[in-house]
Amino acid sequence: MPIYLSNFMEIVLGAIITYFILKISLPLLIRFFPASPNQRSLHKYIKPSSGGISFILTYNIFAISQGVFLPFLSLPLALVGMMDDRFNLSRLIRYSCQILTILLFTLFITQNSNLFISKLIESNFIFYFIILFLGSVIINSINFMDGIDGLIAGNMMIIFTTLNFNSNHYLTPIIGALFGFILLNWHPSKVFMGDTGSLFLGSYLTSLIFSSNNLTEIIKILFLCSPLLLDSLSCIVRRFLNGQNIFKSHKLHLYQRLVSNGLSHSLVTSLYMLATIFLSIFYLFFNLIYFAFALLIIICLGIFIDKKYAARFNNFF
């Protein structure tokens, strides 16, 4: 079977399997993982959470059948996310499990001595701590951005599609699985992915970044993910500069303030997806210098949208 036809079939099957797993599991999810509105949320009614288990199961079944084990290493953190969705675990437990997960897939990845991070760690053990810090930043940034319908699923679908064009990673099933999930996660959503899904996606994305062959590739993937990463990081910096407790829940991310100011979930999610699509073009077809210029355009547009259309940052405290 031609490779393009095989990829298409995996995407279609991934979407169908995920959709039906999710559809069947909705009664159980609303019973055991109800997401009630709170001070951080932007939804008004109780909805089922932990729906990310649908695309996680689908993708890992495909991956393991093909002998691809990297996504399997993010499963323990997904299970921690599921427990957090149910029992609201402490920050210490969540963060400790994130560090252990990063250590786990770093040890797995560095079995290939030709990879960039393998050479870094060989040159100086201190780079282990830098890798742990960067990994936790990426995982938590993705987790923090899971606050409106379709935002994480839509953007991660674009990111994985882009990476699939330019890597040997087995990503076609998760692209399809996320498509099947977003059919029920688009506004008005019938289910949330919860920490179950966002921690898995953040962890797996981190493992793909660390699997890069060189520093340029790592930077390019970080640029590609910047609509999600920069929103989260800039929010933390602004809160810190304003003397806020950065560990306290809030609604100060740009996407949250846009929705709070009257923009629909669908429009805000579409804006982020368009930004990621724009960056994906530069990821695939241009060098790092042009890519950096494209990122600068996105940053300037983000600042403009923040000033023009978002609720003022200082209005929330």
From first to last of the 317 residues of the chain, give the pLDDT tens digit. Answer: 677 788 899 999 999 999 999 999 999 999 999 998 876 778 788 999 999 999 999 999 999 999 999 999 999 999 999 999 999 999 999 999 999 999 999 999 999 988 999 999 998 889 999 999 999 999 999 999 999 999 999 999 999 999 998 777 899 999 999 999 999 999 999 999 999 999 999 999 999 999 999 999 999 999 999 999 999 999 999 999 988 888 888 899 999 999 999 999 999 999 999 999 999 999 999 999 999 999 999 999 999 999 999 999 886 65
Backbone angles phi and psi of 47, in degrees to 5: -135, 155
**Closest among 228, 188, 202 to 71, alpha carbons compared:** 202
d(CA 295, CA 304): 14
- CA-based R_g, the chain, Å: 19
d(CA 174, CA 154): 12
* Tokens standing for residue 107: 């040890």
